[in-house]
Amino acid sequence: MSADDSTKLRRSKGRNGQALRGLWECDIVRMERRDEWGWAAEVPLRPIGGTKYREFATGVRGGAWTSIGHYRTRNGALQAAKRLQSGLFVWEPGASAAEGIMRNWAEVAEEIAADPWVRGQSN
């Protein structure tokens, strides 16, 4: 499968094989149409050690589908997922998905590196 195939949006299907209205997905993002405002998006993320930050992780790396907020367009949600997939950004959850923030890895690298879980010094 090429990188283009993994990010090509397709309609989500129900158990009966029929397309589900307002639901789209690809390997890196799931999204649902939310009224006229836009699209609620989820990507697979996992915790980075004991920090508050989350990194993109699929398959055997164990990412859980996590809300990353609302986007005006499907393409906007896909681009946000691609940024997280690139490994150059991490997700900092907020009190709600709308309050979460995408952070550049370089901005938080020292904080993450200082975490005992990341350094392998936890029990």
- List, for residues 32-52, the tens digit of each pLDDT value: 988 778 999 999 999 998 899
Reported as a pLDDT band with limits 50, 70 and 90, residue 11 is: confident
Q: Is residue 27 part of a domain?
A: yes
Question: What share of the chain has pLDDT > 70, as a percent?
Answer: 91
pLDDT at 122: 54
Q: Per the domain annotation, does 112 fall within a domain? A: yes
Domain membership of residue 122 (yes or no) is no
Token digits of residue 113: 């590196």
Residue 123, in any domain of the structure:
no
Tell me if 76 is assigned to some domain.
Answer: yes
For the residues of the chain, what is the DSSP string, one character each?
A: --HHHHT--EEEE-TTSPEEEEEEE-SS-EEEEETTTEEEEEEEEEE-TTSS-EEE--GGG-PEEEEEEEESSHHHHHHHHHHHHTTSEEEE--SSGGG-EEEEHHHHHHHHHT-HHHHT---
Domain hosting 88: range is: 3-116
Nearest to 68 by CA among 111, 39, 106: 39
Residue 48 inside a domain? The answer is yes
The answer to whether position 64 is within a domain reads yes
Q: What is the pLDDT of residue 1?
A: 40
- The structural domain count of the chain equals 1
Q: With respect to residue 9, please indicate whether it lies within any of the assigned structural domains.
A: yes
Per-residue pLDDT tens over the stretch 19-29: 888 888 888 99
First to last CA, the chain: 40
The pLDDT tens digits of the residues spanning 68-119 come to 999 999 899 999 999 999 999 999 998 776 678 999 999 999 999 998 887 7
Highest mean pLDDT among 51-55, 56-60, 94-98, 119-123: 51-55
